[in-house]
Structure 1
Amino acid sequence: MAIVLFDGQCHFCDASVQFIIKRDPQAYFQFASLQSDVGKELLARYHVPPTDSIVLVENESYYVQSTAALKIARRLQGGWRFAYLFIVVPASIRNIAYNLIAKNRYKWFGKKELCELPSADVRQRFL
């Protein structure tokens, strides 16, 4: 099991969580927003520097930005796992594209005021 921490106010981030859920039939991933009490507690427990990036907590370690995204992709059903091959590219290079999207995500995709209530089976995956 792993936990994905995401920006709960970001439409793009929410869509990314829904994308993961649809391609994770074994329910390997659980989710919490960075803004939630659980998210804040996990950030503190793992000593994650202040971030608005996606954070993956797995095997008592944390990963951020493109490394988190690629480690998530390798667990997804279908061809998405092959994206993990990009892990050989240095993070400093991978994160250029990641940071461009992250910096503009509210402008390009909008900000959420309210969260949708997921179905009961999906709701169990949120901490």
Structure 2
Amino acid sequence: MGVDKLPPFIQPGERVVLFDGVCRLCNAWAKFLIRHDRRRLFRLASVQSAEGQAILAWFALPLERFDTMAYVEGDALFVRSSAVLRILAQLDWPWRGFGLLRICPRPVRDWLYDRIALNRYRLFGRYDSCLLPDPDHARRFLDG
């Protein structure tokens, strides 16, 4: 696969997790990945960042209102429960075990995912602006 077939800012072999940078739950997910991705498989980008916006545009996803986490592996895009479970399946145990939930039918998984995603601000709150990564975590974030 040539670099020209990859979304912007993504290098061959990179795995990128796009998350809502003002959502408290989404930020907790990003911090979870930083803590538990010991092999440093994943890079992170908020959907509000220039990099996140370019990747969303490349996949023709909404730029203003984005109600799901997205995971990009090469030129493939995964969203909603499929994204979460694909990521968890690549982490070390015990988190890898949650990847087995893929046996549950996707419409059921996505329905549950949507209940949380569509109510995440009400349930968990939001920040006024995107949080900046800690200096020691900055290299985990995608940047141009």
Q: Structure 1 vs Structure 2: percent identity of aligned residues? A: 39
- Structure 2: how far apart are the matches of 1:79 and 1:33? 26
Q: Is the 8 A contact 1:23 1:78 kept in 2?
A: no
Counterpart in the other structure of 1:61: 76
2:117 pairs with 1:92: no
- Structure 1: how far apart are the matches of 2:100 and 2:113? 16
How many aligned positions are there?
127
Q: Which residues of structure 2 form unaligned runs of 5+? A: 1-13
AA aligned opposite 1:104? N
- Larger-Rg structure: 2
Q: Is the 8 A contact 1:46 1:61 kept in 2?
A: no
1:1-127 to 2 correspondences below 5 Å: 1-48=14-61, 51-127=66-142
Question: 1:126 offset after TM fit, Å?
Answer: 1.2
- Structure 1: how far apart are the matches of 2:120 and 2:37? 24
AA aligned opposite 1:32? A
Deviations 1:38-75 (A, max 9, x none): 11111122334663200000031000000000011011
Question: 1:27 offset after TM fit, Å?
Answer: 1.2
3-state SS of the aligned residue for 2:44? strand
AA aligned opposite 1:96? W
RMSD, matched Cα: 1.6
